[in-house]
Amino acid sequence: QQQVKQSPQSLIVQKGGISIINCAYENTAFDYFPWYQQFPGKGPALLIAIRPDVSEKKEGRFTISFNKSAKQFSLHIMDSQPGDSATYFCAAGSNYQLIWGAGTKLIIKP
């Protein structure tokens, strides 16, 4: 009940396109769902996060869609840019425990 499954493992998108990464969780007690962005040689940095009382959150080109009944959430990157090339991690948790997905390596082709 503690797993967070993330897909795809890798993704190549043309510049200007939409990048979509999906995650599924099992534990219905989870109440915090962040997405982190990691560049090579750096630590992860928070990109955007959502709580289960809303179905969508948008910050600039980044949007989280959340489906509580399906226990799924996804990250959409609109107008993807080469600078968005990074590894993206979803996570889910509550209190002090955050369970992370395995990561998606995103490459934006110019």
Q: Which of 103, 88, 99 is nearest to 31 (CA)?
A: 99
Contacts of 96 (CB under 8 A, 6+ apart): none
Task: State which of residues 6, 63, 74, 85 lies at the interface with other proteins (CB under 8 A).
Answer: 6
* Paired sense of beta strands 104-109 and 10-14, if any: parallel
Per CB under 8 A, contacts with other proteins among 20-79 are 31-32, 34, 41-46, 49, 51
Per-residue binding letters, 80-99, with other proteins (x by CB under 8 A): ---------x-x-xxxxxxx
Q: Binders of other proteins: how many residues, by CB under 8 A? A: 28
Min dist. Cβ of residue 97 to other proteins (A): 7
Sign of the alpha-carbon torsion through 33, 64, 57, 80: positive
* Tokens 């910050």 -> residue: 59
Enumerate binding residues for other proteins (CB under 8 A).
Answer: 2, 4, 6, 9, 31-32, 34, 41-46, 49, 51, 89, 91, 93-103
